[in-house]
Every structure is written in C-alpha cells, then in structure tokens.
Chain A
Amino acid sequence: MKVDWSTFWPRIIEATGETITMVILTLIFASIIGVVMGLLLFVSRKGNILENKIISISLNVLINVIRPIPFIIFLVAISPLTRMIMGTTIGTFAAVFPMTIAASFAIARVVENNLISIDPGIIEASKAMGASPFQIIFGVLIPEALGPLILGLTFITVGLIDFSAMAGTVGGGGLGDLSMTYGYQRFDTSVMIVTVVILILLVQISQFLGNLLSRVFLRR
C-alpha cells in the first residue's frame, strides 16, 4: 500500500510547517521562562548577588525532579494539565505546552552553567562600580554570557526537533507523526526516508544559524 506522492507532498510540507511551528513557539516561550529561571538559579546561589536559600533550594529540587523524566512519559503524565490549560491535548499548539515546560528546565540549567563560567572578578568589578543587582543582571551577566548562551540554545533547539517528533506521535502532528503513521506503521520506507531527511535538514539549518549568531557575540 504505497502512498500517492502527488497528493502526499502537500502533507509533508504541512507537517514540516507544524514541526517548525512547534519548535519555534516552544523556543520562544521556553527561552523566556528558562532564562528567568536560570538567572534566578544563578543569582540566588550562595555568596551571589541575591543569595537566597529558599529560592535556590526549591528551584533546584523542582528542576532535578522534572528533568530526569523521559519526555515521552512526561508528555503523557502532564496531559491532564495540558488539557486544563490548552483546552485539548491534541494538535500542534497543545504539544507546545508540555514541550515548553520540559525545555524551560533544560534551558534554565544551560543558562545557569553559562553564568557560572563568567569570571567572578567581572561581577565584583561591577559591584565595585556601584551597580545594583538589577543592573548587574541586565548590563553584565546577560551580555557576558550571550555568545555561549546562544550555542546552548541551539543545542536545545536540536533537542526540540526531537521532542516535537515525540509530541507528534501522541497527536501533535508534524513530521514525527507523519513518519510514524505512514513510514513506520504502514512500512513505507520512502516516507520514512523523506521525513528523516527533512528532520536532518532542519537540525543542520538550526545549528548553522546558531553558530552564525553566536559568532557575532563571541567574535570568533
């Protein structure tokens, strides 16, 4: 039972669009939440500019509980919450919700790690200049970490393409869904190959853009 390619190409293009939508929307929301959480993780650390034990411990525990859960299980486990907030668990937009939650925690760690690698002397110099914690966060921490941060976000984006394929299999649509329903379940190797090639291309393009952008900030 082969597919009819003349009618199948539009399906592929549609699915590619769904995948890109899922990834980009997730990236936007998860970056906002993740950067805020990552900054909080960093500044609340012991000895840091806004040291706060309660915030530090609760964020760390939360992240360490959520992060090890395999995404496919997380996706199913969180579906009641997804239905409550998005109204449904099926479709591209509904998939963005669990993806955003999972990605936020990953991004929070990436952000924290990049902030930790900033030379503490630079933060100290800003303090000595009379900068407030707010001014240090936006004027020093973010610009200093931006180059490696973009690389970290690129890494996350590649992971999101993977997530989106999984979200697809539970009704999110996109290339993952397509490749599962036609390629895997109907044993049509050609569909499988086409979707996999497109996924590889998407990964390559995101990596290329990420490298390009980070180079602007890293100057190397």
Chain B
Amino acid sequence: MIKLENVSKTFEYKGKKVAAVKDVSLHINKGDIFGIIGFSGAGKSTLVRLVNLLEKPTSGEITVNDHPLNSISSRQLRQLRRKIGMIFQSFNLFNSRTVFGNVAYPLKLENWPKEEINRRVTELLRFVGLEDKADKYPEQLSGGQKQRVGIARALATSPDILLCDEATSALDPETTGEILNLLKKVNEEYKITILLITHEMNVIRSICNRVAVMENGRVIEEGEVYNVFSDPRENTTKNFISTVLNDRLSPHLIEKLKKKQPTKFYRIIFSGEATSEPILSEITSKHNIKFNIIYGSIHELQNQLFGNLIVEFLGDDPVVEVVLNELRMVLDVKEVELA
C-alpha cells in the first residue's frame, strides 16, 4: 500500500543542512493502522508529508498504491492526493466556509453535481456525528468537533489512505479517546489504511496494530504493537512504553526494597498464552515455596493481555533457583536491579 525504500530528506535552511529523515524503509500494508512515534523533531511530520509529496524526498523511493512517486506528473499527483486524506494537529479548516462548505470543498474540486455533494456531505457529517452543525463556522466549534470536520473532509473523496499528523495532540484526553475511536471506525467500516504520527504512546496502544519508533530521523524499531510492547529493544522505545504501562518502580518503592536487601526481586512478564494460565502459582507450589507480589500491572493490547509483576520468592536459595529456571522456560523473568 505504502512503501518507502531508503528514503531520506534533507532540508537546507539558511545555508545549513538539516537531515530530517534518514534512510527510512517501511512497508505499510492495506488495512493497517500504522503508528509512528517519536519525540519532537524526530522527523515524523516530514516522513508523513513525504507520502503525499508535500515534501519531495532527497533520495530513496516511495510507492503509494503501486504508483512510484519519483516519476509522477503534477496532474497525476493531484489525482493521487484525492485518494490520500490528511488530517492535522491544528485542523486547518477553512475559516471562510461553514462545516458543510469545508466537507464539500474536496468534492467541488472534483466537480461533483450539487445534489450528490449534498448527499455525500450529509452522510459524512452523520458518520462523524456532526449532522446538526452543518451551518456552523469553524470558530463556533470545539477542538474535538473541528477534528471531526477535518476527518469528514479528509474522507469526502473516499480515500484509500488517511494520514494523521498529531491529530489528537491539541485535544484533552477524553476528546482524544473519542477521536481515536472514530479513526478506528474509519479503519474498520471504510477499510481505510491509516498512517498516524504521535508523541503519545497511549495513541499507539489504543488503536495501532503496527508501530515504528523514530529518533533523529531514523526508524530505530518497528513491528507489531504487541511484540514491541512486550519486548522492546531500544531505550527510547522502553521509555515510551513505560509512559503507558507504568512498569517502572517509583523511587520511593525502590528505596523500600533496598532496605530489604540482600533479598532479590524478580520482574516476571506475562504475554500471550501465559496470561491465561496459573503458571506462577503451579510452579511455586510444586516446589513448596511462597511468593509475594510487590508491584504489578496488566494491560490489554490488541485484544491480548500483557502483564508485568515484581515478586519476591520466600524459600531457600537453591529451591528458588530451580523455580526460576522452570519459570524461565515459559515466562520472561529478570532480576530487578535496584541500583
């Protein structure tokens, strides 16, 4: 659906070169909700803007719907852009047009007849839940309502792809949730592939099935959301994940645990099948030792559970060793470093 092969983008700004995107290769499949996460300045906006050629790549190849963008004429590009919707952090609605007029604009570009435009706009406004706001102007709407208009406008010409540049960053958490649900609905009902960028892991966790982490213009980690969350490799990824999973111990708790040293504490990560079986209690009771849960959290990711427990084992060291070895065969177990 969207293919990027070794894509780089370097800006020249006041004689200085800024490499915003460096050698990025990504494949986004039909039906994906693909999330790109990264800190400010990582190059996320530049990357999505390459997909509809709002920025031209300095090198590399981009293919959208089997159209190589390198050799596209400006006429073909305009045609292609009508099949790629885009929504923005600052909504970018036309202030001189009503809600109706905003959603109708892309249809007017395609010279739709008036009645068809009426029908389509009404249908879209119903889909985003704004049928009663058709005659309002953007300044009369809340942020969430503005983004709904943005979504309706982006969907008007029935695109295959929706690009979202920080679509929820200007919204409060509750409204963010509503807009994310709407995007999910867009993906499921209209089968639209979504490429979204964000700096909030919560957005990725809520709706994405695949994620790429960007840092300094590069994609440093990429994969299925569940796999990346349950087994992150890069530090940046781990930091992002801990913002939503609360898998870090507070300094206060660490101090408390330090006082109990030399007792050792273990982090046990349950994922996939392991969450539905009483593995921990079976193995410990088989060896007749007890365990104590210090801290833990369980989350739902893409309809799978993902748990994270910090435990202490109460028993003789050699027996605990045996238990640990048996646990390691089915679960991910790490000693917690308190330093």
Contact = CB atoms under 8 A, between A and B. Distances in A.
B92 A139 contact: no
Interface stretch (A31-39, A61-69, A122-130, A169-177): A122-130
Contact of A130 (B78, B93, B137): B78
B78 A125 contact: no
A125 B105 CA distance: 11
Given A124-B54, A143-B97, A219-B137, A129 B92 contact: no
A125 B92 contact: yes
B88 A121 contact: yes
Interface string B88-129: 101011111100000001101100000000000000000000
Contacts of B8: none
A132 B75 CA distance: 8
A122 B92 contact: yes
Contacts of B78: 130-132
A217 B109 contact: no
Contacts of B92: 119, 121-122, 124-125
By CB atoms of chain A within 10 A, which of B78, B79, B96 has the most?
Answer: B96
Interface in A75-132: 119, 121-122, 124-132
A202 interface: no
Contact of B96 (A128, A130, A217): A217
Secondary structure at chain A's binding surface: helix, strand, loop or mixed?
Answer: helix
Secondary structure at chain B's binding surface: helix, strand, loop or mixed?
Answer: mixed
A130 B79 contact: yes
Contacts of B84: 128
Contact of A129 (B97, B106, B137): B106
B100 to A, nearest CB: 14
A48 interface: no
Interface residue tally on B, bucketed by range: 20 to 34
A131 B78 CA distance: 7
B224 to A, nearest CB: 29
Interface string B136-173: 01010000000000000100010000010000000000
B106 A130 contact: yes
Contact of A122 (B52, B94, B157, B163): B94
Contacts of A135: 109
B82 interface: yes
Interface in B37-82: 52, 54, 77-82
Contacts of A125: 86, 88, 92-93
Interface in A162-185: none
Given A129-B82, A144-B94, 4 more contacts: A130-B78, A130-B157, A139-B105, A139-B109
